[in-house]
Structure formats: C-alpha cells, structure tokens
Amino acid sequence: MATTSTQPVFIALQANNDTMPIIEAIRQDNPNAVVHEYPAMVKIDCPGRLVIKRTSVEEHLGRDFDLREIQINMISIAGNVDESEDEFTLEWKTA
Amino acid sequence: MTVEIRTKSVKPLTNSFGHLQRRFGDKPATRYQEATYDIQSSANFHYKPLWDPEREMFDVRRTAITMKDWYALKDPRQFYYGNYTTTRAKQQDALDRTLDFVEKRDLLRAMPADTRALIEHAIVPLRHYEWGANTNSAHVAAYAYGTAVTSPAMMNTMDRLGMAQHISRIGLLIDGNSGESLLASKTTWTDHADWQPLRREVERMFVTRDWFEVFIAQILVADALVYPLFFQHLDSAIAAGNGSALSSLTDYLMRWYEETGKWVDAVIKTAAAENPENKALLSGWTVTWRDRLVTALAPIAQSTLGNQSEDALAAVVAAFNTRAAKLGLSV
Amino acid sequence: MAAEGNAKPAKKLSLKENYALLTRGLGWEPSYEKQEEIFRNISFEGIKIHDWEKWEDPFRLTMDAYWKYQGEKERKLYAIVDAFQQNNGQFNVTDARYVQALKIFINGITELEYDSHRGFSMLAREFPGVGPRIAAQMQSLDELRHATTQIHTISQYAKYFTGMNEFPYQFDRAWYLSIPKSFFEDAVTSGPFEFIVAISFAFEYVLTNLAFMPWMSGAAFNGDMATVSFGFSAQSDEARHMTLGIEVIKFLLEQDPANVPLVQKWIDKWFWRGYRLLSLLATMMDYMLPKRVMAWNEAWEIYYEQNGGALFADLARYGIKPPTRAPETIAEKGLVAHQMWSVFYANRDAVGFQMWLPSEEEMDWMSEKYPDTFDKYYRPRYEYWREMEKAGTPFKNTTLPQLCQVCQWPCLFTEPNDPTTLSLRETEYKGETFHMCSDGCKDIFDDTPEKFVHAWLPVHQIYQGNCFLPDVDPTAPGFNPMYEALRYMGIKPGVDGGDFKGSADATNWEKWTSRPANIHEGAYTDAVRDTGNQSDVARKAV
C-alpha cells in the first residue's frame, strides 16, 4: 500500500459550502497535506499519496456520503486514482 | 457586491449570434439553437485524415444521402447537453425507485423457474444487442455531418449503454447479483441458434460504412422491430401468467423508445423529402434491412412466443410499414 | 419469498463489482465479420495491443451515475447562468478589457470542444475494448457539454460586446484562429492512439491545468461569475478525462515494449504542440486579466515543472522520459507572454479583439514577476510605443507576418536563451522551403512532412487570393486586400479589433456602467466623469 514516492499529488476543489467537510477530512487524514487557497478554488498538495476517507467526510458532514459526490466539485487532480466505497486515493508509485 | 446599473436603458447590440440571425432572423435564440446550429467546422480543413485520406476530416461524402443544409435534420426534442442529462437523471431517479421496489420484494426471483429461464434466454441477451446499437450509434456520431446529427447521435450512444446496463440489472435481479445470468446470456448471444441470425445482422451493421445506412439499419429498422417484439409482445406473454413485475422494468425501455422515435422520425422524414434520390436510397435501405431483420428475429420469436410468434412479428412489421410510409418511404 | 432453488439472499455488490458486471461483459468476439473489418483504424499506427481486458477503469461510472452526477452539475450551472443573465452580470466584471479575453475564448476554444467531441466519438466507435470505448464515449459527450455551456454562458456577453457574434465562422477563417484549429485537426486526423495520447495525456493531463486552473480562478477574481462557473464545472469532467489520459499511457506502455518509442514520440510532439497553443493563455493571464491571480511563469513552475515533474518521475519506470523540448519551455517562460502581446498589439487592426499597452501599475507588476526579463527587454518597448501613441503616430505592423508551418503562430519567438534573436528554422521538402518558429516545430515537421505540407496557412492563402468573399473584385479601383481579407475572416475592421481606447466596447461600457472601461487609465468618456458619484447614479436608476 504505502508508496515510497514523495512527489506531490494534488486535488483541487471548488471553494464552496459542499467542499468544506471534504477539505476538513483531507486535513485530518493527511497530516502532510498543504492547503492553498485561490479565488473560488482550493488546491491541496500532498507528498506521495493523498487519501479521502468516506467515514471522515461523513463525520464532518453529518450524513451519509458517496465518494463519487466529490466529482461535482472537483476541479483537478494529479496522481494515479483509486476509488472504492470507502476511500478515494491519489498516489505516485515511483520514488 | 452586485453593481447596480441603469439596465433599463441598456439595449443589447444584437439579439443572437450572427449565424442564428441569418437562419431565424434578429430575435433571441433558444438554447437548443445556440448549442446546435453551424457549430461543426465546415471550411479550410488542414490535413488529410490518416484514416480516410480521400476525404476531409468532416465530409458530407461519408454518406450517399445529400442535403442542401445538414442542419435541416433537427431534433424535435430540442436536446442539448443540459436538458438531455437532467431529463435522463429524472427518469433514472424514477426507475431507481422501481428497481428498488422489485429488488426488495424479490419480485423477479419469485417467478417460476421456467419464467426466469425465459427472461434469461430472451430478455437478458438483449444487453448485447444494445451494446451493438451503442457501437452503431457511435459510428453515426463519429462520421455524420453537422452538429444537428452528431449531438443527438452521441446522446443516443450513451442511451444505448444505459439500456444495456438496465437490461443487465434485470439479469442481476434474477440471479440475486451473482452475475450468472449475465455470463449465461453472453453464451446465449454468441452461441445459441435462436440468436445467431440477429447477431449476424448486428455484425453486418458493424462493417457498413455509410453512416446514414447504419442509422437506418439500427436506429430506424432494427429498433422498431426489436423493441415492440420483446418489450410489448413477449412482455405481455410473460405478464399474462406472472403479473407485471417485468413490465414495470421494460416500461422504461418502451418509453425511451417512443421518445427517441420522435427524433428518428424527424430525421428520416426530412431527409426523404429533400430529393427523390434520397427517398429512393432510404427506402431501399429500409426494405433491405427490414427483410433481413425480420428473418433474423423469427427463430427467437418462434422459440419464445411459440404459435403466437408469426402474428406478433406480422403485427410489428405492419406497424413499422405504416410508420415508414408516414415518413415518406416506399416500403 | 424467493422460489425454490433461488432462495439465497441477493448479494450486496461493491462499486467495483457492480461496474464490472454492468460493463465489462457487454462486448463479444465477432464471428460473422472479421475483427479487422469492424475496427479498421487500430493497426496502421503500429501500436500493439494484446489484451484489451487489461484496461483499468479508474472511475467506475455506470450511465445511471453519470446522468445523476452530470445532471446535478448542469442544474447548478444553469441556475447560475440564468441568474447571471437576469442580473446583467456581464457588467459586473472588472472592466471592459477583461471581455476581450472572452472573445479569444469563444472564437478560439469553443470549437475545439466540438472537435474533441468528434475525435472521442471516433475512438468510441473504433476501440475494440469495452472499457476504453465507454471512457471515450463519456468524454465525447462531456466535450459536447463544454462547447454547449461555453456558448450558453458567453452568448450573454456576445449580445453586449463586439467580436463574439461570428464564432463558428471566424474559427474556420481568421488567420490567428488557425492556431487552435490546426492543433485539434492535427490530432483528429491522426490515428486513434496518437489522438488519445495527444489529447488525453499530453494536452489534458500535462497541460490544461495550467490553463484552466489559474485562468478560471482569475475569472472569478475579476467578477465573471458565469465563466468561472462553466470553467470549474467543465474542469470537474476534466479530472475524469485526465485520469483517462494517465490510464491510457500506462495501458499502452504495459501492453508491449514496442509501444514505448511511439508513445515517447507522441508525447514529445504533443507536449510541444500543446505548449505552443496554450502560450496564448500566457498572454491572456498576464495582460488581459485586469486583476491578476498568478503570472504565467509561476503557473508554469507549479503546473509543469512541479506537477509534470512528479508525473514523469512516475512514468520513468516504463522508460518514458520528460518531453524533449521541455527545457525550451522553461527557458522561455519569462518571454512568451510579452512577445505574444507585442505581436498582437502590432497587428491589432487585423485581429478580432482590442488591444492596449500595459499601464504603469501593470508594468510594475510584471517587473516584479519577471525580474530577469521585463525591465530589460519589454518595458522599454512598451514605453517607446506609449510615446508613439501620445505623438499621434502609434506603432503598427502593416505587413502580414510569416507563419510557422506547424503551430501556425507568426514566427515571433526568440531563441529560448537569447531574447534578442528571433528563432527561425526551415526545412526543404520536395523542392519547397517550409518555415518553422522553433526546434520543437521543426522536429514535428521533419517527422511527418507529408502531413504538414497540407496545412491551410492563412497568410499564404491570402497572398494566393483565396481569402476574399465572392462579391469582391480585386481589379476594382480602391481594392483593399487587407480589408477584404478581414471581411472574409468575419472580422469587422475597426470594430472587433484595433485600439481598445475609443472602441465601441470601451465607449458603451462607460455609457452603460458609468465606470471606467480601463480601471488603470481613468475614464475615457464623459459618461463616467459627468455622472459623478457612481452609487448615486445606480440608486437613481433603480
């Protein structure tokens, strides 16, 4: 699972009410994530790997959350994607 | 921080885009018109396509049909991406509730074994027919001329994937999500004698290059025979002994078929009325594909509808001939 | 409840299982017709695919989910577009210069979205594998979405500003719009594998972030609620498309080692071709946003050097190297925006958007952002041109520029490491000399000269007399070839383009909004000065 890469992956989200719990969940589960705020947009960089956990988003949101809902407010991503019911992961595989 | 301005005194310089004004006059345009008319490039192409060096990238010569204006082939549903997707999303929402209802009560699995076997044999393999229709529809979207045709053709392509997936869900409702009925239906589609003549015709469409002929073969003729035969005649036969559980799921397919028919009819009617050569070509293709497909459907009709099969097919063909005549075709 | 022999409770399907069952088994091995007669375009490029089933779908979207999520995006977007139109949102942007950038957008970019729809619909038809076919189909429909939402958003601007009203017509004819047009036509006329490497990987994955993230954020910063909404909404589709881009590369490279050099060649070509196209955004970002978010060189550092670096580090395990001409792009990141603005300014009477010289405030910003280049090479030029404007003899180019045979930009670029020497290259092919703007473009021409000799090069076409409307008589007295060529291109000379100051857009803006058309230069007309306090006027009008 763990990658050895430290190259930055990122996700960029629209800055709005829907994405606040997602951003909070990312901060919580990815201590190395760096959040950059731009007009109307938030870009989050993280070395090697970034994970969004469904349960963490639900904790901040207070309702059930389908990870595919991220797509509505996602602006861009970098890294290899893996998506399951529980986790949305971005990762670089090579160091 | 909205800036308030003297909006009452501000008159627009123009009511719509120049290309729309030239077609419809100086008045506000609809979103369908804005998204459709004259959008495809039509002049000064740069390179010869490696996949078709004799023609331009977009070229009217990829069909034998001719039109003075390809944008005459408009979609009466006035679909552009936004109203298309929101319409489908709404329909899907209603369908999800039906699927949920059927699943929770195990309505399909509660059917007698021979009925389930019949659905597996005669309905579930249509997921492959839909995938074939998806391929053929993509051919139209790829090689047709003008946004008025390519845009609804691409929507139709996706609709066919949606229908293939919907039919697959009927399979999953029967096999309790094991996927066994889907595996079995694939073998039925590729190997069972009942289906081979139809598969043969679907594959023949795959090697037909004239996109308008593909449109006729698949979207006009094949669908007009397949949909009523399976989702009305066979569906009624199944419902007669087993209640309406299956019909609640095939109803969606028939409604979609009827809605799409409005677009198909408008395209064919306009193209046939354009000139006598078009009418002759379209009529010829229609007759050829109708005769092939009626023959191709006979075995599966026979094995599922038994002695009602001839009447059912005859009724389907008669309805099709009436429709084709209304569109200006000689059949 | 269930009948006998079918009593096990229905299994709960995971997302992956559900997707696999509903999707992967749909295709079948044809037996009545030959595979190569059905899928005729997949072998001529030399790419070897042994097993289409190895394709991984990163986003496992079934159609019901596609309709659901896309429908929701559309509902949100059109609610904003409706509100924007009802409230005359076109007047809420910073100033009327910003609108000039939207002219480039609708005239130069919207039609690419349509071309992309067609390119992907070809892949949707021609790929034998179900997974990649479906990904291409969804993208084809998404691209139609992007064309549509751009038209629906910008149509409101087109009603109140000049130069946006003939976008499909101009796209096929205007000399500088052959830059985007030839780019996408090059891709669509290639084989399916080159197309997908070009568009999904080199263009969308490697390059479009750079354009759309800072640009759209800039649109928001300048009060253009409608554009930022369609932009970010489109980008949410792009995130899916980019993932297709990286999956396709991995798939091609894993299928056969013989694919590696072909893929590398296409990456090299399309990185350069995409970079040249997007350099337009360099000048839009640095010069056309009255309030700026980020300079082009900063965007290039973040989105290419940093993120592209991470990507190519990841691909190194397949033997893929960063694009050969990447060093040039880094070397000239402090130059391109300024060189392009200069060329557009000099040729402003022949383009469909209006031009201005950067203000003192803007030049100071550029000095800060481009400490190594701006004050040395470009500030003196602008100051000189400003003097010429003041003297009533503004600088103008009166001859048509030499165009690059590949990217179709005027040969305006300098040697990457020498900003004072123009970069010019040429190749002789079948007894004829062809001109290129750079080594990157020369590489491309030399690899496939037979393709690029067919390019419809506007300046050549004008000289050959192919760019006049049928009502034109070149032998008539007073025949003005430049005026007539512009008319052919759908550009209204003296209205759509030219000097921003004194233009219809600037004058109307001040009349309609009582605000300066250029926030850095004060009012051009009495409409602003005479009305005094803006808020009074606004209040009176309500």
Alpha-carbon span C212 to A6, nearest angstrom: 26
CA angle C210, C212, C213 (to 5 degrees): 75
**Is A94 or B32 the better-scoring residue by pLDDT?**
B32
Chain B residues closer than 8 Å to C456 by CB: 44-46
Closest to C88 (Cβ–Cβ): which among B5, B14, B15? B5
Share of chain B above pLDDT 70, in %: 97
Q: Please write the tens of the pLDDT for every residue from C313-324.
A: 999 999 999 999
Q: Are C296 and C286 in contact (CB under 8 A)?
A: yes
Residue B221 maps to a domain: yes
Contact B206 C111 (CB under 8 A): no
Antiparallel, parallel or unpaired: β A49-53 and C354-355: unpaired
DSSP state of C27: -
Q: In this structure, are residues B215 and B286 in contact, taking their beta carbons and an 8 Å threshold?
A: no
Residue B110 lies in a domain: yes
Task: Tell me how crowded residue B314 is: count the other CB atoms within 10 A of its CB.
Answer: 11
Distance between B298 CA and the closest CA of chain C, angstroms: 19
Indicate whether C531 pLDDT > 60: no
Q: How far apart are CA B18 and CA B15, in angstroms?
A: 9
Chain C: nearest CA to A81, how far in angstroms? 6
Closest CA to C52 of C119, C122, C123: C123
Contact call for B131 and C171, based on CB within 8 A: no
Q: Is residue B17 part of a domain?
A: no
Question: What's the CA gap between B285 and B302, in Å, rounded?
Answer: 26
Contacts with A74 from chain C: Cβ below 8 Å: 235-236, 239
Reference B202, options C411, C365, C47, C38; nearest CA is C38
Answer yes or no: are the C-beta atoms of C305 and C363 closer than 8 Å. no
Residue C131's pLDDT is 92
**Reported ipTM:** 0.96
The rounded distance, in Å, linking the Cα atoms of B52 and C284 is 37
Residue B268 CA to residue B246 CA, distance in Å, equals: 32
Q: Is residue B88 in some structural domain?
A: yes
Model pLDDT for residues B152-207, shown as the tens digit of each residue: 999 999 999 999 999 999 999 999 999 999 999 999 999 999 999 999 999 999 99
Instruction: Find, among C455, C420, C460, C458, the residue nearest to C441 by Cα.
Output: C455
The predicted structure's pLDDT at residue B5: 52
Both tokens of C500, joined, read 């921003």
With cut-offs at 50, 70 and 90, classify the pLDDT of residue C537: very low
What token pair was written down for C494? 């003296």
C72 and A CB contact within 8 Å: yes
What are the tokens at C233? Answer: 């909404």
Of C61, C214, C313, nearest to A7 by CB-CB distance is C313
Do chains B and A touch by CB distance (3+ pairs < 8 Å)? no
Q: Where are the alpha helices (DSSP H) in B192-232?
A: 196-206, 211-214, 223-228
DSSP category for residue C313? H
SS3 B16: coil
Residues of chain B contacting residue C22, judged by C-beta atoms under 8 Å apart:
165, 168-169
Q: Which residue has the higher pLDDT, A4 or C438?
A: C438
Q: What is the mean pLDDT of residues C248-252?
A: 94
Mean per-residue pLDDT, B49-68: 97
Residue of B nearest to C76 (CA): B82
Neighbours of C82 (CB within 10 A): 11
Range of the domain at B234: 78-326
Task: Name A45's bridge partners.
Answer: A10, A34
Of A14, A82, A83, the CB nearest to C232: A14
Q: What is the pLDDT of residue C535?
A: 41
User: What are the residues whose beta carbons fall under 8 Å from the beta carbon of C291, sequence distance 6 or more?
Assistant: C94, C218, C221, C222
Min Cα distance A74 → chain C (Å) is 5
CB pairs under 8 A between B and C: 301
Would you state the pLDDT for residue C7?
61
The total of structural domains in chain B comes to 1
- C110-126 mean pLDDT: 97
Q: Which residues contact A80 (CB under 8 A, 6 or more apart)?
A: A90, A91, A92, A93, C58, C246, C314
pLDDT of residue B1: 41
Instruction: Give the whole-angstrom CA distance, residue C335 versus residue C330.
Output: 10
One DSSP character per residue, A21-36 reads: HHHHHHHHH-TT-EEE
Question: What does the pLDDT average to over C450-470?
Answer: 92
Q: Which helix (H) or strand (E) holds A56?
A: helix A54-61
CB contact under 8 A, B154 and C5: no
State residue C3's pLDDT score: 45
- What are the tens digits of pLDDT across the range C397-435? 888 889 999 999 999 899 988 899 999 999 999 999 999
Which run of H or E residues covers position B161?
helix B147-175
Q: Is the pLDDT of residue C529 over 70?
A: no
**DSSP state letters, C476-499:** STT--HHHHHHHHHT--TTTTSEE
Binning pLDDT at 50, 70 and 90, where does residue C209 land? Answer: confident
Domain C52-348, CATH class in plain words: mainly alpha
Identity of the amino acid at C370: Y
Identify whether the C-beta of residue B298 lies closer than 8 Å to the C-beta of residue B309.
yes
Dihedral sign for Cα C466, C470, C476, C479, please. negative
pLDDT in tens, C260-308: 999 999 999 999 999 999 988 999 999 999 999 899 999 999 999 998 9
C359/B6 Cα distance (integer angstroms): 29
**Cα separations in angstroms, B201 against B52, B167, B221:** 25, 20, 12
Any idea what the CATH number is for the domain that residue B217 is in? 1.10.620.20
pLDDT reading at B6 higher than 80? no
The size of the A-C interface in CB pairs under 8 A is 103
Rounded Cα distance between C364 and C303, Å, is 25
- On chain A, the residues whose CB falls within 8 A of the CB of C69 are 68-69, 71-72
Residue B84 lies in a domain: yes
Check residue C532 and give its pLDDT: 45
Q: Which of C238, C229, C231 is nearest to C78 (CA)?
A: C229
Chain C residues inside the 8 Å CB shell of B101: none
Determine how β-strand A87-91 pairs with β-strand A80-83: antiparallel
- Judged against a pLDDT cut of 80, whether residue C224 lies above it is answered with yes
pLDDT at B2 (0 to 100): 46
With 80 as the cut, is the pLDDT of residue C540 above it? no
Torsion of CA C331, C334, C337, C339, to 10 degrees: -80
Reported as a pLDDT band with limits 50, 70 and 90, residue B94 is: very high
Contact C73 A84 (CB under 8 A): no
- What pLDDT is attached to residue C60? 84
Q: Rounded to an integer, what distance in angstroms lies between the CA atom of residue B62 and that of residue B56?
A: 10
| The two structure tokens encoding residue C118 | 């067609």
* Cβ pair C91:B5 closer than 8 A: yes
Contact C281, C290 (CB under 8 A): no
Q: What angle do CA A9, C119, C261 make, to 5 degrees?
A: 60
pLDDT for residue C507? 96
Q: What is the largest CA-CA distance in chain B?
A: 76
- Find chain C residues with C-beta within 8 A of B144's C-beta: none
Query: Residue C38 is nearest to which of B51, B147, B206, comparing CB atoms?
Result: B206
Domain with CATH 1.10.620.20 in chain C: 52-348
Taking only residues 466 to 495 of chain C, the set having a beta carbon closer than 8 angstroms to any beta carbon of chain A reads: none
3-state SS of C342-394?
Answer: HHHHHCHHHCCCEECCCCHHHHHHHHHHCCCCHHHHHHHHHHHHHHHHHCCCC
Contact C246 A80 (CB under 8 A): yes
Distance between CA atoms of residues C410 and C342, nearest Å: 12
Mutate to test the interface with B, among C13, C21, C509 (most CBs of B within 10 A): C21
Q: In whole angstroms, give the CA distance from residue B172 to residue B218.
A: 27
pLDDT surpasses 50 at B20:
yes
Helix axes B276-305, B113-122, angle to 10 degrees: 160
N- to C-terminal Cα distance for chain A?
Answer: 14
Q: Supply the pLDDT for residue C399.
A: 82
Neighbours of chain C (3+ CB pairs under 8 A): A, B
- The token pair at C163 is 């130069």
Given a cut of 70, is residue C538 above it in pLDDT? Answer: no
Which segments of chain A have a pLDDT < 50?
1
pLDDT at B8 over 60: no
Residues of A with CB under 8 A from a CB of C: 5, 7-10, 12, 14, 38-41, 43, 68-69, 71-85, 92-95
According to DSSP, residue C410 is labeled B
State the pLDDT at residue C173.
Answer: 96
Q: Which residues in chain C have Cβ-Cβ distances shorter than 8 Å to B182? A: 21, 25
Question: Per-residue pLDDT averaged across B105-118, rounded?
Answer: 94
Q: Do C1 and B106 touch (CB under 8 A)?
A: yes
Cβ neighbors of C124 (< 8 A, separation 6 or more) are: B138, B141, B142, B157, C133, C136, C137, C140
Which tokens in the block code for residue C514?
């009582």
Nearest chain B Cα to C190, which residue?
B50
Q: Check pLDDT > 60 for residue C539.
A: no
Residue B271 located in a structural domain: yes
Cα of first residue to Cα of last residue in chain C, in angstroms, is 68
Distance CA C387, CA C459 (A): 30
Confidence (pLDDT) at C243: 86
What is the model's pLDDT at position C534? 46
| Both structure tokens of C97 | 């210069």
Q: What DSSP character marks residue A37? A: E
Question: Looking at beta carbons, which residues of chain B come within 8 Å of C98?
Answer: none
Query: Which alpha helices (DSSP H) does C223-346 contain, by range?
Result: 225-255, 259-283, 296-299, 307-315, 326-331, 336-346
Sheet bearing A74-78, strands edge to edge? A34-38, A41-47, A8-14, A74-78
CB-count exposure of residue C323 (10 Å: 0-12, 13-18, 19+): buried
Residue A54, C-beta contacts closer than 8 angstroms, at least 6 positions apart: A65, A66, A67, A85, A86, A87
Q: What is the pTM of this model?
A: 0.95
Quick: pLDDT tens for C42-100: 999 999 999 998 988 878 899 999 999 999 999 999 999 999 999 999 999 999 999 99
Question: Cβ separation of C454 and B47 shorter than 8 Å?
Answer: yes
Name A47's bridge partners. Answer: A8
| Chain centre to alpha carbon of residue C314 | 26
